[in-house]
Structure 1
Amino acid sequence: MRMRRLPIRPLAGLTTIGVLALAGCGTQTSGSTSDPGGPRADRTIRAQQVMRLTQAHQETGMTLLEGPVFDEDGRLLVVDVTAPAGAPKVLRVDVRKKTSEPVHTDDRGAYTSAQFSPYDGRIYLTDFAHGDIVSLAPDGSDPRTFFSGEVDGARMNPDDLAFDQEGNLYVSDSRGMSEGEARGRVVRIDRDGKDATVLVDGLAAPNGISFDADYRGLWFSELTQNRVSYLLLDAEGSVASRHTALRIDGGVAQTDSIAVDADGNLYQGLHGRPAMAIYSKNGERLATVEVPARAAEGLESATNVAITPGGTRAYMTVSGPDGGYLYAFDAPAEGVRQSNGG
């Protein structure tokens, strides 16, 4: 998640600034073209517009869609990070009918991701501005604060999250982002919300986070370093090893959220350009997902993607001055939990 027209994402200041300055259709492919992740891409995947979900809010001056996740009925939930109090902060979309309805709002949260827990089936939201993790019933009712407070003496700025198979949470904590300091962390919170452990610290605005296809380790991106790292985990969920896996040459674009499909391919969202880079688990650049050139001028980010579970239709959240949109394309492999929310 990333906000518009700022060199770094000053989300930590969301509680004090008036305008937040954060972080479906057919597919065409073409030959080699420029790619945000390297010198040349093998192919370009042309995403097609499904629908516009939101417009820039008068109160915040912008809109920013994030956290797409399918529910059990095949409807897509999306968060609007910059929605003001009273406006829908979580929306439910029928991608076939191209309709949407509000699910949740409040007067406080700036929600940057959404995902269903495999443990209790509730929707979990990260509130970047206040350091909380909030959960909702599947229909959007019964809001609860799942986790709040300090972790190792400092409050989080939770950005994205991933669940392991037992329902424990792994959170990218982007603290230090607004100051441009490498004070970010990856935090593990047990499924009861009682114990929180810092797995890695000293990170440069960590953003995207996802388990690999086998749940052996975590991929995470650092927004202000444009790199993706891999954490191999042990049986207790602690770090066994860590290495830099990808360096993204994004130019004006920065690394946003991450999704992983059934083949282990990484979908790296970009802020600063309405595009998404796809890599194999071995670092091979497979493709770049682009919106049509005629639409790209009014759009500034492609933050995240949800791939239909068991299918290959992918829905990408794209935002900019022209509004918040869903774009669709055909993914190289089927969707799994790791490509559905977070």
Structure 2
Amino acid sequence: MRRLPLRSLAALTAVGSLALTGCGTETGGAAGQTAGAPGADRTIRAQRVMQLTEVHERTGMTLLEGPVFGADGGLFVVDVTAPEGEPKVMRVDVRRKTKRAVHTDGRGAYTSAQFSPYDGRLYLTDFAHGEIVSLDADGGDPRTFFSGEVEGAPMNPDDLAFDRDGHLYVSDSRGLTEGKALGRVVRIDRDGGEATVLADGLAATNGISFDAEYRGLWFSELTENRISYLPVGGKGGVTARHTAIRVDGGVATTDSIAVDADGNLYQALHGRPAMLVYDRHGERLATVEVPARAAEGLESATNVAITPGGTKAYMTVSGPAGGYLYAFDALAKGTRQSNGG
């Protein structure tokens, strides 16, 4: 998720209290890049796949997030501000360009989605209520996986990542609404029984993803426009962390993160319908953007899922014009780290 304007933060609160919440790329050269020296930052222009949502009358907005491919090839997407009775989780057939609702409820404001490698269930972060819930692969059987305080403070869970064993790593955006650096990275055991703070004092922790080798976590701090790296040991231990990339986003701020098979980082932006791509050493490789003629009324590109084993990428784009799915060719193949979160 992203730093929401005041009306958006109010909408999240309202959502929680209602009823009590096949395309190619247009390119300027080979491999979807504009002319320029090898390794130079190039532009990849994404193509519209389909519109998924319109602005909700009851919440005054729509905000798509958390695209993630299921085992059957369906793309699951959440709508953060969908009110009760409208789809909060939907399944998209990207080839047929069809969608169907798979879950709604009267409470959740879900900001990310990810399938667990341990039990195969779909896990959702409820930003407004500090909870993590799970659904079965068809969107049914809702369960509260985790709720309550972590080391004496409530969470605002935003994005999440799983390690190989199914333990959860959550970006806790605590402090966002107060403008204070109270954000954290939290590890939760796969049975939900133990939660540990791995890093704190962060400025609205947002995107989170393991690197290609599962040696550490990349995470973004939305109100500082920076990406940090957090080495993680085999049992979730942490040695140190450091700022790895300072994002020059202009009016835009850092949202979710995905990582492809080559270790490249896809940094989503709030405030601009675009993503920035960096290699693991911090070199900016590309900018993925919605063509200017289609960008009016679109304010953010919140997240991306790269087809597992393929290079077709699908990013969620939203604004006053509605919620859309856009596609582009990624720089490398998709893996678990590039599938939602």
TM-score by length of 1: 0.93
Q: Identity of paired residues, percent?
A: 76
**Bigger proportion of residues as strand:** 1
Aligned residue number for residue 23 of structure 2: 25
In the alignment, is residue 252 of structure 1 matched against residue 251 of structure 2?
yes
Query: Any conservation in 1 of the 2:15–2:83 contact (CA below 8 Å)?
Result: no
In the alignment, is residue 315 of structure 1 matched against residue 319 of structure 2?
no
Secondary structure in structure 1 of the residue aligned to 2:255: strand
Q: CA offset at residue 15 of structure 1? A: 3.0
Aligned residue number for residue 30 of structure 2: none
Secondary structure in structure 2 of the residue aligned to 1:239: coil
Q: Provide the rounded CA distance (Å) in 2 between the counterparts of 1:132 and 1:258.
A: 21
Per-residue displacement from partner, 1:223-282 (whole Å, max 9, x unpaired)?
A: 000000000112211111211000011111000000000000000000000000000011
Aligned residue number for residue 101 of structure 2: 102
Q: CA offset at residue 3 of structure 1? A: 5.8
Matches within 5 A, 1:73-152: 73-152=72-151
Aligned residue number for residue 13 of structure 2: 15
Query: Any conservation in 2 of the 1:31–1:42 contact (CA below 8 Å)?
Result: no
Query: Any conservation in 1 of the 2:217–2:231 contact (CA below 8 Å)?
Result: yes
In the alignment, is residue 268 of structure 1 matched against residue 267 of structure 2?
yes
In the alignment, is residue 208 of structure 1 matched against residue 207 of structure 2?
yes
Matches within 5 A, 1:39-58: 42-58=41-57
Matches within 5 A, 1:320-331: 320-331=319-330
Query: Any conservation in 1 of the 2:219–2:229 contact (CA below 8 Å)?
Result: yes
Secondary structure in structure 1 of the residue aligned to 2:240: strand
Q: CA offset at residue 4 of structure 1? A: 5.0
In the alignment, is residue 65 of structure 1 matched against residue 64 of structure 2?
yes
Query: Any conservation in 2 of the 1:45–1:287 contact (CA below 8 Å)?
Result: yes
Q: CA offset at residue 16 of structure 1? A: 5.4
Q: How many aligned positions are there?
A: 331
Q: CA offset at residue 2 of structure 1? A: 2.3
Per-residue displacement from partner, 1:281-320 (whole Å, max 9, x unpaired)?
A: 1111100001010111210000000000000000000000
Q: Which amino acid aligns with 2:294?
A: A
Q: Provide the rounded CA distance (Å) in 2 between the counterparts of 1:102 and 1:31.
A: 42
Q: Provide the rounded CA distance (Å) in 2 between the counterparts of 1:189 and 1:61.
A: 34
Q: Provide the rounded CA distance (Å) in 2 between the counterparts of 1:235 and 1:60.
A: 43
Q: Which amino acid aligns with 1:46?
A: R
Secondary structure in structure 1 of the residue aligned to 2:13: coil
When residues 300 and 4 of structure 1 are mapped into structure 2, their CA distance, relative to the original with a 3 A threshold, is farther
Query: Any conservation in 2 of the 1:18–1:60 contact (CA below 8 Å)?
Result: no
Q: Provide the rounded CA distance (Å) in 2 between the counterparts of 1:4 and 1:306.
A: 22
Query: Any conservation in 2 of the 1:206–1:221 contact (CA below 8 Å)?
Result: yes
Q: Provide the rounded CA distance (Å) in 1 between the counterparts of 2:287 and 2:249.
A: 12
Secondary structure in structure 2 of the residue aligned to 1:74: coil
Q: Which amino acid aligns with 2:101?
A: P
Aligned residue number for residue 2 of structure 1: 2
Query: Any conservation in 1 of the 2:257–2:268 contact (CA below 8 Å)?
Result: yes
When residues 3 and 55 of structure 1 are mapped into structure 2, their CA distance, relative to the original with a 3 A threshold, is farther
Deviates most, 240-249 or 263-272: 240-249
Deviates most, 232-241 or 260-269: 232-241
Matches within 5 A, 1:227-242: 227-242=226-241
Q: Provide the rounded CA distance (Å) in 1 between the counterparts of 2:121 and 2:91.
A: 15
> Please, which runs of 5 or more residues in structure 1 have no aligned partner?
33-39
Query: Any conservation in 1 of the 2:64–2:78 contact (CA below 8 Å)?
Result: yes
Q: Provide the rounded CA distance (Å) in 2 between the counterparts of 1:246 and 1:274.
A: 20
Computed over aligned residues only, the root mean square deviation of the Cα atoms, in angstroms, reads 2.0
Per-residue displacement from partner, 1:181-217 (whole Å, max 9, x unpaired)?
A: 0001000000000000000111000000000000000
Secondary structure in structure 1 of the residue aligned to 2:241: strand
Q: Provide the rounded CA distance (Å) in 1 between the counterparts of 2:255 and 2:292.
A: 21
